[in-house]
Amino acid sequence: MVDKVPKSDLIIILGDVYAKLGKESAYQKIIGKHTLHEETNRNGELLCDFSAANNMIVMSTQFQHKQIHKGTWRSPDYNTINQIDHVLVNQNKKEAIEDVRSLRGPNIDSDHCLLKSTLKQRLPNIYKKKPIQLTKWNKTNIQDPSKLKQYRTPLHNKLKNTPDTNNINEEWERMQKAVMDAANEVKQTQGRTPRNEWWDEECRQHIKKKNEARSKWL
C-alpha cells in the first residue's frame, strides 16, 4: 500500500502493531530516545525494518512525556504497561507531527489507551461560493392530488393580481415569487430530518453508567 502512494504525499501510519521499541543505537535514526522500553522485541525489529525500507520514522517515541502518557496497553493484572501502539510518518515530513501521547481517560471499550496525535498541516486557501439553500417540500403534500388542485388556485390569483411590467427581469421575479408563495401556502416545506434518531434518554443513561463504572475501575 505504501508503494502505491506518491512519495511526495504525507504518509501517516498508525495502529496497534504489538511492537516494543527499545533504545538500541542501531535504530536511533528511527526510534526516538523517549521510548518506554529498553529492548526491542521481534515485532519491533520488523517495524524498524519496515520504517527503514520506506524512509519513515516512529513519531510515538520522539516526544518527552511522563511514563503513564507513553504506555498504550495495560495488562489485566494492572502491573505491566507496554507501548505497543505507534505512529509512523515520512522522515522528510516529520515536522507535521507536533505531539503524540496516550490518553487514559477516554472510555473506548478497550484495554488499550487512546493514542492522540497532533498534526500540523497547512491547507490551501480555497474560497468557495456560498452553497444555495434548497427548499425541501413536503413529500406527502406533493403526492396528494387534492393538494395539487389547491395549489393551482392561489398561484393563478397571485399571477393575476400582480401588474405586468415591460422588464423581463422584474417579470421573472414576479413569477418566481408567485410560485414560491403559492407552494408555501399549499405544499409547505419539510422539516430537517434529525440525525442520530436512535439516540435517546435510555442510551444517554447507559453511557453515563458505563463512564461511571470505568471511572471506578481506573
Q: Exposure of 29 by Cβ count < 10 A (0-12 exposed, 13-18 middle, 19+ buried)?
A: exposed
Query: Which residues, 6+ apart, have CB-to-CB distance to 46 below 8 Å?
Result: 19
Rounded Cα distance, 72 and 65, in Å:
13
H-helix or E-strand spanning residue 205 = helix 201-217
The set of cell numbers assigned to 174 is 414576479
Q: pLDDT 10s digit of each residue in the chain, 218 long?
A: 999 998 788 999 999 999 999 999 999 999 999 999 999 999 999 999 999 999 999 999 999 999 989 999 988 887 889 999 999 999 999 999 999 999 988 888 888 999 999 998 776 666 666 666 677 777 777 777 887 777 777 777 877 776 667 788 888 888 888 888 877 777 677 666 656 667 888 888 999 999 999 888 88
Give the C-alpha distances (Å, rounded to integers) separating 64 from 23, 74, 92, 100, 216.
Answer: 14, 20, 21, 9, 29
